[in-house]
Amino acid sequence: MANYDFDAIVIGSGISGGWAAKELCEKGMKVLMLDRGRMVEHRKDYITEGKGPWQLAYRGNLPPAETDRDFIMAKWGGANLTAQTHYYNNDRLNPIDYENSQPFRWVRPNQVGGKSLIWGRVALRWSRIDFEANKRDGHGSPWPIDYDEIAPWYSYVEKFAGIAGSKEGLPQLPDGEYQPPHPMNVAELWVKDRLEKAVPGRKLISTRTANMTEDKPEQGRSRCQDRNMCARGCSFGAYFSTQSATLPAARKTNNLTLMSDQVVTNLEYDPKTKRVTGVRVVDANTHQAHIYRSRIVFLCASAMSSTQILLNSRLPGNDRSFADSSGMLGRYIMDHAFRASFWGTVSDPALEPFIAYGRRPNGVYIPRFRNLNGQDADADFVRGYGMQGAAGRGPAGAAGFGAAMKEAMRAYGPWTIRFTAFGECLPYKDNTLSLNPNKLDRFGVPLAVFNVTFRDNEQKMMRDACIQGEAMMKAAGLTGVGSINEEHVPGDAIHEMGGACMGEDPRSSVVNRWSQAHDASNLFVTDGSQMASTSCVNPSMTFMALTARAADYAVKQVKAGAI
Amino acid sequence: MTVFDRRGLLATATALLGAELVMPLGRALAAEAVPGFAPSQVQFTPEQRAQVSAICERIIPATDTPGATAAGVPAFIEMMLADWYSSQERDDFLNGLGILEGRSWTQYEKTFPALTAEQQDALLTIALQEHLGGDFFNHCKQMTILGYYTSEIGCRQERVYVPVPGHYDGKYPYAQVKRVFSS
């Protein structure tokens, strides 16, 4: 009988790792959770929370020299903002590599809690058509699960996380377990009313978000205070993060051991039993290596990191990963395309007397409307996109200078509304993450090599988003309508997915319908790496649901003596 | 971050300053920058610092609220030149400052800070209308606006700062505040 240090090891402490730790601990397992980043404790370590612009280093912004030196990728996720720079990976110390000079923006966190501290908090369910998409149009590996399979798990995680949203009855964006939605402002309601009348089938709704509108006293969390300083950490616990929600729950069981600054380099594997036998870490500070052993392992290091760890987990005497008998490990790397935007001005004088009080943490959302019932006749692409936006009024600009200008700047400019499309990226087998065996990082791990591009379908989809967006703004009666379709660089949306995709067939996928590795029965890969497609909606709720579901299955298998 | 988070500041600042941003500010804003004021190296001679202070104070003077110098804008501009401007842009700015100062001497036989407020305004109007020193006036104006409205005085006295709003009202009457809420 093997000698285990823990019942389970969870690698990573972000949205997926936090859920894995909570679920496994609550089911009575002794859990070790590892994170490569530094420790950040709820409240105590939110060092910039509540500060005004004048209290932040450089008034909030890192000078270009430092940004370009240390955060060449992370700046695309906000590392250049000094209110939150401390939550990001240093790209100079932890570099990546490229193949064919294809750029990839891998925005990584640098702490326990991972990206759950700095995420966008958009909390949407995938729909039936999302899970059927690969099967229907033949791209990628077909999903082995459908919406009905995952729906109860969405409900389970939504109730705990605290999601604010409206029920809309839309098949392409299923309703969940929601607290009341955050309110829309007067201009958004104006646009909603006119858009929904002018273009039947289009909807404008309050973005479903993991910022609560009701307290959760049982978790010690309060509703959102409309500060919009979420990415600094929130002492109210108003938004879902590992620190505010899953970590306290896991700790309450006394079953959790949490270790920060532990860089997992690879998993040890026994080909005879087809089991993972150990998790090898290097301490980020001392560079000491250590191997921890457990009955089961949950790999939740983030889509790209989990893939990198698996690629670096070789069969004994072989340079091939034990998890790659399918040849699919590191393939189907995806991200949402999201640099297509459009906007307009609400010129109705009836709105002129009003401004917004408070800083709402969310905005508004136009759910997918393209290719919902088969292929639209006028669409030259498959699948679709959703649109995130908000209306607001900035301070008025003023000509000249002096007291008159200062007085004029006490007024507001017009109400404008702006949206950005999030487009589904198709799974391409040759969009890859691999390792460069000739370049090792400071922990001895081969650098991740990205070779990922958006292609014709994504480009056409984003062009369509601009055309449709402008048409909607005009139909709703807005003025000054415009759009821009900027360069789409993979990784930019920070919705990277794939690399260890889920599928029924062990010959064409890496994990099975339970997020369990085909090649190792005691290994579960439950973060974004398991995704076989991207949908067009934000993925975090799906990672949560799949993780909770996998934990439930894994513990049942352990109890049954199967793994 | 949401797209809204990422884009919000740029949109706001562009609205604040107009579409024709001077280059270093365009860069700073594209990087979502609202720089502070702690220059990594000294940029001004004492005379230049006095000139910049006088210019800022005429752009945003003390009225019923304090003006740009009280808000520390000159030091903010010095930081911007040190940490955000390229050496060429920095040279252009200092050159523009020299041209304005030269005009002050030819026209009034005094250094700019020693002029009356009316004389200073007259010279700044020339700088604005005749593009004295190229885009010098625009640089001064935009940096003054950014520095002022991100200062504590700008946020809390000129504008209304609510650290913990507690709720959101998307139909709040402007007449109740008659000021801009700072973020």
- Which of A19, A521, A33, A36 shows the shortest CA–CA distance to A296? A521
Greater confidence (B28 vs A250) lies with A250
- Supply the ipTM of this predicted assembly: 0.94
Which B-chain residues 131-150 have CB contacts (< 8 A) with chain A? 141, 145, 147, 149-150
Answer yes or no: do A78 and B6 touch at CB < 8 A.
yes
Indicate whether A1 pLDDT > 50: no
Domain range summary for chain A, segments of one domain joined by +: 168-239+337-423+454-489
Q: Shortest Cα distance from A473 to chain B (angstroms)?
A: 18
**Count of alpha carbons within 13 angstroms of residue B95, beta-carbon side:** 11
pLDDT by residue (tens digit) across B71-110? 999 999 999 999 889 999 999 999 999 999 999 999 999 9
Which B-chain residues 88-127 have CB contacts (< 8 A) with chain A? 121, 124
**Count of alpha carbons within 13 angstroms of residue B17, beta-carbon side:** 27
Answer yes or no: do B168 and A225 touch at CB < 8 A.
no
Residues of chain A in contact with residue B167, where contact means CB-CB under 8 angstroms, are 225-226, 357-358
Strands (E) in A459-521, as ranges, are 479-485, 497-499
Q: What is the pLDDT of residue B27?
A: 57
Answer yes or no: do A60 and B59 touch at CB < 8 A.
no
For A197-210, what is the mean pLDDT? 97
Q: Shortest Cα distance from B144 to chain A (angstroms)?
A: 10
Indicate whether B4 pLDDT > 80: no
For A334-352, what is the mean pLDDT? 97
Name the pTM for this structure. Answer: 0.94
pLDDT by residue (tens digit) across A419-447? 999 999 999 999 999 999 999 999 999 99
Q: Is A206 helix (H, G, I), strand (E, B) or coil?
A: strand
| pLDDT bucket at B40, cuts 50 / 70 / 90 | low
Mean pLDDT of chain A: 97
| pLDDT bucket at B18, cuts 50 / 70 / 90 | very low
Q: What is the pLDDT of residue B20?
A: 55
Strand partners, A386: A422
Rounded distance between C-alpha atoms, residue A436 and residue A518, angstroms = 25
Indicate whether B2 pLDDT > 80: no
Indicate whether B53 pLDDT > 90: yes
Burial class for B7, CB neighbours closer than 10 Å (0-12, 13-18, 19+): middle
